[in-house]
């Protein structure tokens, strides 16, 4: 049990909450658009894919960054640098979850299975990008943006514009709030010559960039509502999501980062859940 808890802390299992509602939206969008009946087996496979993929991605990130994390006071207490978990054990954990992810896609459909190595490449490659480019935030967001498209493909077996628009919401939403989170490590990143938008632009301009990126996320939320088309329940969820999107920018100032965790974890987690619940309910409860 203790080992399970340690691995859960390693991958911050509770943060699955960020992308999971969007994957579920993609799943239920596909059911509604293709007039498919709900399969609990397929839903379980999609959820397992989410868990396995995220475990692999987070585990690999912690494995690859173990020496950097040890130098950073903010991350020195993480499981590998603190000695709670051995690097070799974490690497085996990554490999096991990667294999389980591909196995799960095999039982979904051939499209998902053939695309599974591509998805794994994106989510694992992210861990290298902070050493290469300040656009690392966008690689992270791309990995999470795969979730709604993948869930849609699990049901429909084909691409469509609606899951693409939903994926674009995730892409701009995640990259925007990851820039806010990276503000905490601006000086550390510069000292180790690591790449990030705050390290490149400084805190003030990085926050401005995050606001602009979140504006794009809001635009795509509106486009999803138009394309659906949305009813009142969907609109309430969309307005709430957009409001919380920009509310987080009132919490974080370039000279005061004391509320970064409130903005990053709480606000975005609540926004994601509310949006997911209201959009899915909007598919089945018809209110003009």
- Supply the pLDDT for residue 125: 96
User: Under CATH, to which class is 7-284 assigned?
Assistant: mainly alpha
> Mapping DSSP to helix (H, G, I), strand (E, B) and coil, where does residue 233 land?
helix
Largest interatomic CA distance in the chain: 57
Q: Taking residues 115-140, report their average pLDDT.
A: 96
Q: For the residues 227-237, what does the mean pLDDT come to?
A: 94
pLDDT band at 7 (very low <50, low <70, confident <90, very high): confident
Domain range summary for the chain, segments of one domain joined by +: 7-284
From the list 72, 254, 244, the residue with the least C-alpha distance to 179 is 254
Question: Which residues neighbour 201 within 8 Å (Cβ) at sequence distance 6 or greater?
Answer: 209
Q: Are 149 and 159 in contact (CB under 8 A)?
A: yes
User: How much is the pTM?
Assistant: 0.95
Proportion of the chain in helix, strand, coil states, percent, rounded to 5: 80, 0, 20
Note the pLDDT of residue 13: 67
pLDDT band at residue 102 under the 50/70/90 scheme: very high
pLDDT in tens, 84-99: 999 999 999 999 999 9
Bigger pLDDT: 159 vs 18: 159
- Residue 228 vs residues 35, 42, 147, 153, 170: alpha-carbon distances, Å: 14, 23, 19, 17, 17
Whether 198 and 177 have beta carbons less than 8 Å apart is answered as no
- CB of 54 closer than 8 Å to CB of 124: no
Phi–psi pair at 257, nearest 5 degrees: -100, 15
Overall average pLDDT of the 243-268 stretch: 88
Share above pLDDT 70 across residues of the chain, in percent, rounded to a whole number: 97
As a whole number of Å, the CA-based R_g of the chain is: 19
What pLDDT score was predicted for residue 152? 97
Q: What is the mean pLDDT of the chain?
A: 93
Q: Write the CB contacts of 217 (distance below 8 Å, at least 6 apart in sequence).
A: 168, 169, 171, 172, 173, 176, 245
Residue that is written with structure tokens 């020496």 in the block: 67
Token duo for residue 150: 């993948």
Would you place residue 52 in the very low, low, confident or very high pLDDT band (cuts 50, 70, 90)? very high
Cis peptide bond N-terminal to 229, omega within 30: yes
Q: Is 38 exposed, middle or buried (0-12, 13-18, 19+ CB in 10 A)?
A: exposed
Neighbours of 36 (CB within 10 A): 12
Query: Residues 115, 29, 270, 125: what is their CA dihedral angle, to the nearest 10 degrees?
Result: 10
> Coil, strand or helix: which one is 253?
strand
Apex CA 92: angle with CA 90 and CA 86, to 5°? 35
- DSSP conformational letter for 235: H
């Amino acid at each position: 049990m203790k080992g399970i808890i340690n691995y859960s802390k390693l991958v911050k299992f509770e943060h699955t909450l960020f992308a999971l509602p969007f994957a579920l939206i993609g799943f239920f969008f596909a059911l509604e658009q293709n007039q498919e009946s709900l399969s609990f087996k397929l839903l379980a496979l999609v959820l397992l894919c989410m868990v396995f993929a995220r475990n692999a991605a987070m585990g690999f990130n912690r494995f690859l960054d173990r020496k950097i994390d040890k130098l950073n006071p903010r991350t020195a207490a993480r499981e590998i640098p603190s000695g709670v978990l051995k690097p070799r054990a974490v690497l085996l954990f990554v490999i096991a979850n990667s294999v389980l992810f591909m196995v799960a896609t095999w039982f979904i459909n051939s499209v998902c299975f053939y695309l599974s190595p591509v998805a794994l490449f994106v989510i694992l490659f992210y861990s290298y990008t902070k050493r290469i480019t300040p656009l690392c935030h966008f690689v992270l967001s791309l990995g999470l943006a795969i979730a709604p498209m993948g869930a849609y493909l699990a049901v429909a077996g084909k691409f469509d514009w609606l899951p693409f628009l939903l994926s674009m919401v995730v892409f701009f939403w995640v990259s925007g709030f990851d820039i806010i989170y990276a503000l905490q490590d601006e000086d550390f990143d510069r000292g180790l010559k690591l790449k990030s938008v705050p390290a490149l632009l400084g805190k003030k301009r990085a926050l401005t960039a995050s606001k602009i990126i979140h504006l794009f996320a809001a635009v795509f939320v509106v486009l999803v509502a138009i394309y659906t088309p949305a009813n009142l329940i969907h609109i309430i969820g969309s307005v709430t999501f957009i409001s919380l999107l920009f509310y987080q920018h009132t919490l974080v100032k370039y000279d005061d980062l004391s509320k970064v965790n409130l903005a990053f974890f709480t606000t975005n987690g609540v926004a994601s859940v509310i949006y997911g619940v209201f959009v899915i309910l909007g598919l089945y409860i018809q209110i003009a």
